[in-house]
Amino acid sequence: MKRKTLKVATFNLNGIRPRLPHLLHWLEREAPDVVCLQELKAEHAAFPRAELEGAGYGALWQGQRSWNGVAILGRDVEPVEIRRALPGDDSDTQGRYLEAAVHGLMVCCLYLPNGNPQPGPKFDYKLDWFDRLIRHARAWAESEHPVVLAGDFNVVPTDADIYDPKSWRRDALLQPESRDRYQRLLDQGWTDALLQRHPEPRPFTFWDYFRRHWERDAGLRIDHLLLNAALAPRLKDASVDRWVRALTKPSDHAPTWIELGRSAPRRRRRER
């Protein structure tokens, strides 16, 4: 029986091959309808399409050797490709962006550059990529179609989104330029779904492997699902599957998800 809600998730795997058992376990247990994956760290031909099809998921992906790589999965459906790269720079060959139509949604999956060390060319690339995203996202923000912009943004939006900002002040994820661009994106009309459902305390989505950050719950919120105005009224819930981060040899991210109504709520008639 078709369920009444639609579950959309984003998950930075930090390597799809070593983390494939975790991914398949999570898909079986949580059964998301749409999944955006980042950091595949695998060549295009090495993507585990057969294993995912066996789990009931169609896939669209952009692989890349050693680093980057993104994918969009659809439960019981094949995602319909719209775009395979972020426009604005034909010389950029990094696999960081995909767009597809899945389950009645326009899904934009992204892996925004980390930007470290900063200052320097990597941080310049991050800001340039962010600027291109802002330009491209405006049309989707204003679209009458339901659109979700999901992925690892590599931005900690505010000091409330990190366990302790003091030791991270020089990191590219907390720089004023990074935060300003994230806010400019929201100002287009996007809703930060996890923040909407959990304003305080804000759930973390990433815990690095050093200094027992996971064990101390010393995390950051850098994985985001943004909803355009046409989709935001359908938001029912949002959370983080922390149990995946607690598995043996996990990714340093946990799957982050939202639950949507299948259609927008009807407006109540005004009494005369």
Catalytic residues: 111, 152
User: What are the Cα distances from residue 77, in Å, to 24, 56, 97, 156?
Assistant: 17, 8, 20, 33
Residue with token string 């939006």: 157
C-alpha–C-alpha distance, residues 247 and 241, integer Å: 11
What b-and-e string marks burial along 30-58, b requiring 16 or more CB atoms within 10 Å of the CB?
A: eebbbbbbbbbbbeeeebbeeebeebebb
Q: How many residues does the chain have?
A: 272
In degrees and rounded to multiples of 5, residue 49 shows phi and psi of -60, -45
Hey, what amino acid is at 11? F
